Amino acid sequence: MAELTLAGALNSTLKEQMRKDDRIVVLGEDVGRRGGVFLVTEGLLEEFGPERVIDTPLSEAAIFGVAAGMAIYGLKPIAEVQFFDFAFGGFDQIVSQIAKLRYRTGGQFKAPVIIRGPVAGGIRGGMFHSQHPETYYVHTAGLKVIVPAFPYDAKGLLISALKQEDPVIFMEPKSIYRTIKQEVPDGEFTVPIGKANVLKEGDDVTVISYGAMVHRSLEAAEEAEKEKISVEVIDLRTLMPFDIETILNSVKKTGRVVIVHEAPKTLGFGAEIAAQLAEKALLYLEAPIMRVTGQDTPFPLANEHYYLPTLKRIKNTILKVVNF
């Protein structure tokens, strides 16, 4: 069992799975010789050759369109997008073709495409390299959406994604590519898609998050516990489908909820969680559902610390909910 970063876990998983299944093809901009912008595909070209590790032109529409064709003909394409902000260049291929292929053909054709790449802020990348656009994909019927926060989950969820017969959007928080290390077992194992993980149990308030904000939420929980507040922290891991049962069980216990994510507040994924809690757990709530999110503005370059949820903002919101 090796101690790996999130990027390292993804890299080793790609190699392991490509050795086992010659249908897996990786394609994208600079995935070959360069090894990807963040080196997640480093070493793949040397081992598997240019027929299975394909450097493409700078066209997301072409990358996703070709990936769809590969999937129809029986391959298992993994399309990397350099930054998920750039996926908008191939958005029509995702929402109008890949996501709808099984439905429009009555199940005669499937599109087991994985679209993966870095997402979110934390590296001062500015407005075109820092967005967290998960809501667009969650809102598109036919897509599964995954956002791992730990190396172990990254490996297990990527293997689970490769076993799907439907398309998967696999978002990798770039700020934790190499800042988080964890022991990751050798060989194949899976983490179930659609199952959240209770990282820390508590009695006073439930904090729900995903991606890089999971780690900031855990830090805020530790700070709150210094003030005798017991915080339960849930890592969603998967946004579509998402594990409403685990959330409900927690909220029925604590009666208070704080939702943390990087995306803008208005119609962010936290709004869907809040709506479902209002429908299914209203009588268990002892305080308003609170959200700590990114701002309803373009992502800034120099002042991203004003945009992103901070430890202080999360902790203060926990205190506000508990003292309501």
Instruction: Provide the pairing of β-strand 197-200 with 231-235.
Output: antiparallel
* H/E stretch holding 26: strand 24-28
For residue 50, what are its two tokens?
A: 């240019």
DSSP element (H, E) containing 305: helix 304-307
Report cis status (omega within 30 of 0) of the bond before 57. no
E strand or H helix at 260: strand 257-264
283 Cβ contact list (under 8 Å, min separation 6) = none
Residue 233 · residue 218 · CB < 8 Å: yes
Q: Tokens representing 130?
A: 């820092």
CA angle 173, 177, 180 (to 5 degrees): 105
**Distance between CA 184 and CA 36 in Å, rounded?**
22
| CA dihedral of 251, 252, 256, 257, whole degrees rounded to 10 | 20
Mapping DSSP to helix (H, G, I), strand (E, B) and coil, where does residue 40 land?
coil
- Residue of 129, 132, 215, 261 marked catalytic: 129
As a whole number of angstroms, the distance between CA 219 and CA 210 comes to: 14
In whole angstroms, what is the distance from residue 271 CA to residue 261 CA?
Answer: 11
SS3 65: helix
Find out whether 95 and 140 touch, Cβ atoms under 8 Å.
Answer: yes
Mark whether 305 is an active-site residue. Answer: no
CA dist 216 and 295 (Å) reads 17
Catalytically active residues are 129
